[in-house]
Amino acid sequence: MPSWCSNDITIIGTNEQLTKLKKKVKNTKKEIKEHWDSAELDFNKCFPCPEILEKIHSGSSNINGKQYRNWIELDSKGNFVDFLQSREVFTLSIGLEDFHINQLVEEFGASCSYDWQIANYDTKWGATGFFGVDNDFELIKKDKDNTFNDLYKWEVYGDTAWGVAEGLWQKICNDFSVSMKIQFGGEVDAGIYVCVPESHETKESGYVEIDISDLSVGATS
């Protein structure tokens, strides 16, 4: 099991930018029901792992006397079986040879979802289990000349594995032109991470030096 990191995130942008992001990450009623934590928001939707990699198991498996580091599993009807189902249904394991793995790495930069998510999210599962503190955005800065440029904040919270999902948050900030302040805490570390679009003229994403004793990490109220 991972060391969990809690995240209280303030997302800042115009009403249009935040509305577009919220629409993208909001789960349907069916998705909420099926999620292990009944999560309202799935930020992985903004930068999804390639579907083919989700079907590939990783680790070490002995198949017909040979060790494989990546393999697929099929049920009796030839359907792909993920690792959560593999103990519940009959499966046929097929190991991936080196040339299969090399092809996947060449195309996707990884041979399985685990490696892809670490490379692109900086955590092994990204940010699928998140909730909104409030359904509404809060106005924080009014532009007297143009209401379309009024700035709002949207507060969300949830857990990620190990630490801050830096790669995922950076991708979202770039694509949706929003900024984030992430107050995080876990078994190993705690602090604040600020994320801004890479196109920002004066600021860069990074960790903010603070006194950890001043932090209050947990669900924002």
pLDDT at position 208 is 85
Q: Residue 84's pLDDT is what?
A: 56
Q: Where are the alpha helices (DSSP H) in 13-149?
A: 15-25, 29-34, 51-54, 98-108, 113-121
Express each pLDDT in 129-182 by its tens digit: 999 987 789 999 888 777 678 999 999 999 999 899 999 999 999 999 999 999
- CA distances in angstroms from 99 to 13, 64, 94, 104, 107, listed in the order given: 45, 19, 14, 9, 12
Q: How far is CA 92 from CA 71, 113, 114, in A?
A: 10, 20, 21
**Amino acid at the residue 32:** I
Residue 114 confidence (pLDDT) above 90: yes
Report how far residue 161's alpha carbon sits from residue 158's, in angstroms, rounded to the nearest whole number.
10
Cβ atoms of residues 194 and 205 within 8 Å:
yes
Q: By the 8 A CB rule, do 6 and 184 touch? A: yes
pLDDT, greater one: 89 or 199: 199
Q: Which two tokens stand for residue 53?
A: 């990699």
Task: Determine whether 111 is exposed, middle or buried from the number of CB atoms within 10 Å of its CB (0-12, 13-18, 19+).
Answer: buried
Distances (CA, A) of 185 to 4, 26, 72, 161: 9, 24, 36, 11
Instruction: Summarize pLDDT for 45-85 with one digit per residue, the tens.
Output: 999 999 999 999 999 999 999 999 999 998 888 888 875 55
Report the SS3 class of residue 192. strand
DSSP code, position 147: G
Q: What value does the mean pLDDT of the chain take?
A: 87
Neighbours of 209 (CB within 10 A): 7
Name the residue among 169, 163, 156 with its Cα closest to residue 196: 169
